[in-house]
Amino acid sequence: MKIVLLGSGNVATHLGSALQKAGHEILQVWSRTQVNALQLAGALSVAATDELRALDSSADIYIISVKDDAIGEVASSFPFRDKLLVHTSGTVPLDVFGDDQLTCGVFYPLQTFSKHKDISFSEIPVLIEGSDRAASDALAVLAGSISRTVERASSEQRAAVHLAAVFACNFSNHLYTIAKDLLAKEGLDFRLLLPLITETAEKIRSLDPKDAQTGPAARNDQVSINKHKSFLEPEPALLEIYTLMTNSILRSRDPQ
């Protein structure tokens, strides 16, 4: 397919590269900020623009990957009415495109993208939603060309997936940051925790996470819990997280 990317952040960068590798033709990169458009366009060896009026009209699909709160504005300034226009956000419903756009959709890759970390798209589930059958089918073909897992999901389902991902991924990563800081204070290397973090993420492939739960709260080990709380007393923000998460695990235990 012939594709124009609207946006130049982490998602646009990783997606553009994956689409190009899969044999699609990226015609152009648009970004509100010219230097960003030029940077991604340069990496993909394609044309750049910072003017929506100057968009190449010969693409099959236009993919908006900008901040969630900017999608509506980009969509309302999009100059074509007969082109498939999609965004890549987990949280923004399809109706952001309003009634003007004849065919539109969502192409949401469920992954965490960091600037300096390559990623294999084939393992990334892509959740798609189309305004009509033709749009859905085109998105299914596009998604299937770069990923092994393509799921049709409504805007409401996608919002739930996005929220679940925030808990499982964004919040877990923040816990890694907290753990690293706790170790640094004792002069210990964060790498000590890597096997544990890997195993924690691995074992839920074969165990229900509820059954995989270990630690003081899962054992209702009040002695350890109280020791931890005393240790964290000088850090009220961490103590609050500790207490809330511990109480949540305690509540989720099966009656013994």
Considering only residues 6 through 45, tell me which ones interact with a second copy, judged by CB under 8 A.
10
In the complex, the smallest distance separating the C-beta of residue 227 from a second copy, rounded to whole angstroms, is 6
**Does residue 192 belong to the site contacting a second copy (CB under 8 A)?**
yes
Pairing state between β 2-6 and 61-64: parallel
**Does residue 214 belong to the site contacting a second copy (CB under 8 A)?**
yes
Q: Name residues contacting a second copy, limited to 46-85 (CB under 8 A).
A: 67-69
Q: Name residues contacting a second copy, limited to 87-106 (CB under 8 A).
A: 91
Q: Output 134 or 160, the one with its CB closest to a second copy.
A: 160
Q: Output 58 or 252, the one with its CB closest to a second copy.
A: 252
Choices 77-85, 95-103, 133-141, 238-246; region in contact with a second copy by CB under 8 A:
238-246
From 33, 34, 77, 112, residue interacting with a second copy (rule: CB under 8 A): 112
From 206, 234, 255, 256, residue interacting with a second copy (rule: CB under 8 A): 206
| 186 CB-near residues (< 8 Å, 6+ apart) | none
Structure tokens at 79: 């100059």
Q: Output 134 or 171, the one with its CB closest to a second copy.
A: 171
Rounded-to-integer distance, Cα 8 and Cα 24, Å: 18
In 3D, which of 23, 36, 22 has the Cα closest to residue 6? 36
From 22, 47, 113, 145, residue interacting with a second copy (rule: CB under 8 A): 113
In the complex, the smallest distance separating the C-beta of residue 70 from a second copy, rounded to whole angstroms, is 10
From 45, 205, 234, 256, residue interacting with a second copy (rule: CB under 8 A): 205
| CB-based contact 109:177 (threshold 8 Å) | no
Report residue 15 CA to chain centroid gap: 12
Structure tokens at 157: 């389902």
Pairing state between β 47-49 and 104-109: unpaired
Amino acid at site 81 = R
Structure tokens at 82: 């007969």
**Does residue 188 belong to the site contacting a second copy (CB under 8 A)?**
yes
Amino acid at site 223 = V
**Does residue 140 belong to the site contacting a second copy (CB under 8 A)?**
no
| CB-based contact 21:41 (threshold 8 Å) | no
Q: Which residue has the tokens 């594709």?
A: 3
Choices 14-22, 34-42, 111-119, 130-138; region in contact with a second copy by CB under 8 A:
111-119
